[in-house]
Amino acid sequence: MTIGIFNYVFENSPGFLLEVFVRLSKQPDFDFIWKVLLSDKSKVFVRVQKNNPQSFQFALSYKWHDRGLRKLETILNDRHDKNSIFIDIGANLGLRSVYSLSQGRKTFLFEPNPKLRKFTESLFNDNNFKNFVIENVCLSNSSGSSRFYISSSSYLSSLDFEHAASDQTEGNVEEISVCKVTLDDYLKTNAVTECPCIIKIDVEGHEYEVIEGASLTINKHRPFLLIEVLRESPKSDLLFKKLSEISYNCYAILNDSSLTLVLINDPEQFKVNYSTDNYLFAPEVEKLSGVNIVNR
C-alpha cells in the first residue's frame, strides 16, 4: 500500500480501525507529505520527516488521538464568532490549535519546551496559518522562573521531575529553566483585548495553578475550558471546587463514536475509568447542541 492510499484510508476510517492502524504502523524511512482531513473536509498538510518521529506521530494523531476532544473542539469553534480567540496552554506541537487556525481564529499557544517551536511554526507556515502567537513560557499562578523537565517523548514534560521521568519512551529527562507568568498578567501586559471563547489546558498536573492564574479572565469572559485532569492529580478536588463555585459544570469527554459527555457531580469521579483524562468545564447557563449528555 502506498503512502497516499494509506493516508486516504486512514483519514476516512472509523475509530476501531484507527486503533489497529496506529498499532501496526511504522514510520517509513523517507520524507513525505501527509494530508489531515479536518471535520469541515478542509485539509492540513503535515511534512513528515524520516528523522523526526514526532512528525509521524502528529500526522496520525489528529484523527486518532482524543477523538471526543477533537469533535467537541470543532463544535465549540464553530459556534463562536471568529473575532474571539482560542488559547492553547501546554500546546506541545500545536495539534489542538489546528482547527481554530484553519478557521482563521486568532490563537495563542503556550509551550515551555522551545525545541518544539520549529516544527509547529513550519507546520503553520506550510498551511498558510497567519493568526497565531507562540510563547515559550510556562503559565502558572505566579510570575518568575522555574525548573521545567522535558520528558523523553516531550508528551509528559512537566514542572514535576517524577512525572516527566515516568515517560516510557527511551531517553533521559532534560532540565531547563523557564519563565513563569499568569494568563491574566500575560493578556494585560500584551494588551490582548479579544474575548477568549475556548481555553485548552494540558499541563501534566499543573492545571489548578493555571486556573488560579487565569481567574480574572475566566470570570470576565466565561470561556469553555477543555482541561486534561490526570487520575492521580493531587489537586483535582480543588480544581473542581474552584470552578464549581463560579457556576461551571464539569463533563468527562468520552471517545465513543458519538460525542458523549458524562456530567461529573463529585471530584471522586475523576478517578473513575472513563477511558479519558479530558474534561469540559462549561458555564452553567450554556446549552450544548450536537452532544449526548448523560448523568451516571
The answer to pTM > 0.75 is yes
For 46-99, give the DSSP string: EEE-TT-HHHHHHHHHHHHTTHHHHHHHHHHHHHS-TTSEEEEES-TTTGGGHH
Per-residue pLDDT, 109: 99
The CA–CA distances, whole Å, from 252 to 221, 265, 282 equal 22, 11, 11
pLDDT at 72: 95
- Answer for the pair 92, 110: CB distance below 8 angstroms, yes or no: no
Confidence (pLDDT) at 234 = 86
Over the stretch 204-252, which tens digit does the pLDDT of each residue have?
Answer: 999 999 999 999 999 999 999 999 999 888 899 999 999 999 999 999 9
pLDDT recorded at residue 285? 60
According to the model, what pLDDT value does residue 78 have?
A: 94
- Domains belonging to the chain, first-starting first, are 1-64 (no CATH), 66-294 (3.40.50.150)
* pLDDT tens digits in sequence order for the chain, 296 residues long: 799 999 999 999 998 899 999 999 999 999 999 999 998 999 999 999 999 999 999 999 999 999 999 999 999 999 999 999 999 999 999 999 999 999 999 999 999 999 999 999 999 999 999 999 999 999 999 999 999 999 999 999 999 899 999 988 878 999 999 999 999 999 999 999 999 999 999 999 999 999 999 999 999 999 999 999 998 888 999 999 999 999 999 999 998 778 999 999 999 999 887 889 999 999 976 667 778 888 87
Q: In this predicted structure, what is the pLDDT of residue 286?
A: 66
d(CA 49, CA 249): 42
In single-letter form, the type of residue at position 26 comes to K
Task: Report the C-alpha gap between 15 and 19 in whole angstroms.
Answer: 7
